């Protein structure tokens, strides 16, 4: 993973945990009610993909155990991992693109409701993503994937100073190209072809020459609203539209989106598809059903939007009536590391990925509460406009004192913690019960994220080896790691 140039190793400092009496009077553990969003407390487990679904995207026993374990800690809300809205193969990620997924998802809802004793609200994150191929072997790329064009023939003719390439059999062009050095290929392949060769083919929302990409604004409102209706039908309390990180909806919002069909370019055009999706979802579900979204306060890429622009996005969503705005940062493909041959590019491996899930190997700012200033600005702008839309903040949140002061000082409405809750799913409950000293504290070294990057079942280094021979305990495929927190 990317690291800042001048790294300091930060430490997780002890906190002054509250007594149960103090917790009972805290903001963090007070009820929250704004519009449709009603929580027993202001704690939130944001979406985390654990890679536990079947290859067909079905809920498994391990998925049930994963969410059941979080539910036992009784947070205010849990957001189920990014769940695909289409009925297409996407590996062991949950899917909600067809009614056949309903039975499994219903069991998941029941499990969370039972284990949290009805205390935790359950949302599901709805995601759309575009085609992404693994980085090909160069021989395969030149033999099968590269479309030989006039441009290649002319470039080869210039390079070799012979017109022979203009009419040469295609097979000859392919085998000649496969033998060329990287340096020579720079003069022959287009920028996009070089990317396909070195990173793997990746579709973008700007590929409007492809009919299925041009028609995304026409398709997505229906796909998202059908998924939301399914979520509602099995008992989820609401949906979180995934407008963050590297995926389709974030790509519409991105400043890199220069579509010229009214869905790219200026901010109002980039907002159009996300707004139309939201409107369609809102109209297709019941009045009590919560519909919010997750989006970025900063894309953290040179060509992206920054924290100066994101409050405008928040204002637009809030005006449109979203029930909450959950904020994140970075996590883009644009600056991701080159994958190995046979692997797919992963959006959390570059600088923007670092900002999404910062580690203790950080710059002087450190990983803790790193995104809060930008997130607090979003909330301030909403309130100045008299918009009460709840704001969920995340990023290195790991103790009571600072989380509480964020709420007290009005910088946030709800506190989300991903990795700290992974390390100890009971941590909110332990604080509430005055048992803060028992909390297993996240080390922020991203062992979990490294598993996620390799599409392996996500676990935490702090609980992997504890009581691993406990009877009936679920273990990873290599039988070396616990799948559930002790
Ligand atoms: C293993 C793992 C999987 C994640 N999956 C998702 C996801 O599906 N959707 C999402 O919006 N964020 C995802 N995230 C990002 C987290 O929700 C969160 O924004 C990020 O980890 C920063 O919060 P933290 O510092 O409390 O961990 C994931 C994070 C981790 C560690
Ligand atoms: S593996 Fe565990 S301790 Fe390490 S960053 Fe992830 S949640 Fe925290």
Residues 176 and 101 in one domain: no
Sequential DSSP letters for 35-104: TTEEESSSEEE-----S-S-TT----HHHHHHHHHHHHT--SEEEEEEEE-SSS--SSS-B-SSGGGHHH
Best CA proximity match to 128, nearest among 80, 88, 99, 77: 88
From the number of C-beta atoms within 10 Å of its C-beta (0-12, 13-18, 19+), residue 447 rates as: middle
pLDDT in the model for residue 468: 84
pLDDT in the model for residue 465: 79
Q: What is the DSSP letter of 27?
A: S
Ligand 1 nearest-atom number relative to CA 294: 11
- Ligand 1 centroid from CA 174, angstroms: 42
- Ligand 1 centroid from CA 449, angstroms: 9
Examine residue 353 and state whether it is found in any structural domain, yes or no. Answer: yes
Residues 17 and 117 in one domain: yes
**Total domains present in the chain:** 2
Best CA proximity match to 34, nearest among 136, 145, 121, 131: 121
Tokens of 402: 């600072």
Examine residue 476 and state whether it is found in any structural domain, yes or no. Answer: no
Tokens of 312: 């405008």
Residues 191 and 239 in one domain: no
- Ligand 2 centroid from CA 486, angstroms: 14
Examine residue 52 and state whether it is found in any structural domain, yes or no. Answer: yes
Examine residue 214 and state whether it is found in any structural domain, yes or no. Answer: yes
Examine residue 480 and state whether it is found in any structural domain, yes or no. Answer: no
- Ligand 2 centroid from CA 421, angstroms: 9
Residue that terminates a domain, selected from 198, 217, 242: 198
Residues 231 and 161 in one domain: no
Examine residue 481 and state whether it is found in any structural domain, yes or no. Answer: no
Residue that terminates a domain, selected from 178, 198, 218: 198
Which parts of the chain sit beneath pLDDT 70?
none
Rounded Cα gap, residues 96 and 82, in angstroms = 10
Residues 341 and 210 in one domain: yes
pLDDT in the model for residue 461: 95
- Ligand 2 centroid from CA 295, angstroms: 23
Length of the chain measured in residues: 486
Residues 445 and 379 in one domain: yes
> Which residues are near ligand 2 (CB < 6 Å)?
419, 422-423, 442-448, 460-462
Tokens of 316: 């637009």
Total-model pTM: 0.97
Q: What are 355-402's pLDDT values in tens digits?
A: 999 999 999 999 999 999 999 999 999 999 999 999 999 999 999 999
Q: What are 40-56's pLDDT values in tens digits?
A: 999 999 999 999 999 99
Residues 290 and 358 in one domain: yes
| Ligand 1 within 6 A of CB of 125 | yes
Residues 142 and 250 in one domain: no
C-beta separation of 304 from 350 below 8 A: no
Examine residue 161 and state whether it is found in any structural domain, yes or no. Answer: yes
pLDDT in the model for residue 1: 79
Tokens of 256: 């890199």
CATH of the domain at 104: 3.20.20.70
Ligand 2 nearest-atom number relative to CA 443: 3
Q: Which residue has the tokens 């941590």?
A: 427
Atom 8, ligand 2: residue with shortest CA distance: 442
Among 367, 452, 461, 463, name the best residue to mutate to test ligand 2's pocket (greatest count of ligand atoms within 8 A of Cβ). Answer: 461
Structural domain that includes position 127: 8-132+206-453
Residues 179 and 227 in one domain: no
Rounded Cα gap, residues 204 and 61, in angstroms = 35
Examine residue 295 and state whether it is found in any structural domain, yes or no. Answer: yes
Residues 343 and 448 in one domain: yes
Residues 184 and 324 in one domain: no
- Ligand 2 centroid from CA 308, angstroms: 31
pLDDT in the model for residue 418: 98
Rounded Cα gap, residues 399 and 428, in angstroms = 10
Residue that terminates a domain, selected from 146, 167, 198: 198
Rounded Cα gap, residues 350 and 227, in angstroms = 31
Tokens of 248: 């389709």
Residues 266 and 398 in one domain: yes
Q: Which ligand is nearest to the CA of 353?
A: 1
Strand 361-362 relative to strand 8-9, pairing = antiparallel
């Amino acid at each position: 993973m990317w690291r800042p140039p001048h790294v300091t190793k930060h430490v997780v400092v002890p906190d002054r945990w509250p007594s149960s009496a103090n917790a009972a009077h805290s903001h963090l553990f007070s009820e929250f009610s704004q519009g449709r969003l009603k929580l027993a407390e202001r704690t939130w487990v944001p979406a985390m993909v654990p890679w536990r679904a079947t290859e067909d995207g079905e809920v498994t026993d391990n998925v049930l155990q994963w969410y059941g374990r979080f539910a036992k800690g009784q947070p205010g809300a849990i957001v189920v991992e990014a769940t695909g809205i289409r009925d297409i193969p996407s590996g062991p990620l949950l899917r909600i693109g067809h009614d056949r997924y309903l039975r499994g998802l219903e069991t998941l809802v029941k499990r969370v409701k039972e284990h949290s004793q009805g205390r935790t609200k359950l949302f599901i994150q709805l995601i759309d993503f575009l085609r992404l191929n693994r980085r090909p072997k160069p021989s395969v790329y030149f033999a099968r994937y590269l479309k030989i064009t006039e441009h290649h023939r002319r470039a080869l003719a210039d390079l070799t100073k012979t017109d022979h390439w203009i009419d040469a059999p295609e097979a000859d062009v392919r085998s000649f190209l496969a033998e060329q050095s990287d340096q020579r290929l720079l003069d022959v392949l287009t920028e996009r072809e070089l990317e396909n060769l070195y990173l793997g083919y990746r579709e973008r929302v700007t590929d409007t020459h492809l009919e299925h990409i041009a028609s995304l604004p026409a398709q997505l409102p229906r796909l998202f609203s059908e998924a939301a209706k399914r979520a509602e039908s099995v008992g989820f309390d609401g949906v979180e539209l995934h407008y963050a990180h590297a995926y389709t909806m974030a790509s519409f919002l991105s400043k890199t989106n220069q579509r010229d069909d009214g869905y790219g370019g200026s901010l109002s055009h980039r907002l159009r598809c996300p707004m139309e999706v939201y409107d369609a979802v809102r109209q297709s579900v019941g009045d009590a059903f919560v519909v919010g979204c997750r989006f970025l306060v900063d894309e953290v890429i040179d060509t992206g939007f920054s924290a100066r622009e994101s409050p405008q996005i928040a204002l637009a969503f809030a005006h449109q009536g979203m029930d909450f705005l959950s904020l994140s940062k970075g996590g883009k493909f644009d600056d991701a590391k080159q994958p190995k041959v046979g692997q797919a590019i992963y959006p959390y491996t570059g600088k923007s990925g670092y900002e999404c899930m910062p580690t203790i190997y950080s710059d002087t700012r450190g990983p803790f509460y790193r995104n809060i200033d930008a997130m607090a600005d979003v909330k301030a702008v909403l309130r100045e406009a008299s918009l009460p839309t709840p704001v969920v903040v995340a990023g290195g949140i790991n103790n009571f004192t600072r989380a509480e002061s964020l709420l007290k000082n009005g910088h946030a409405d709800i506190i989300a913690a991903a990795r700290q809750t992974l390390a100890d799913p009971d941590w909110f409950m332990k604080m509430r019960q005055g048992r803060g000293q028992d909390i297993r504290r996240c080390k922020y070294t991203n062992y979990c994220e490294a598993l996620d990057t390799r599409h392996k079942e996500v676990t935490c280094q702090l609980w992997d080896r504890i009581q691993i021979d406990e009877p009936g305990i679920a273990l990873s495929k290599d039988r070396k790691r616990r799948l559930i927190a002790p």
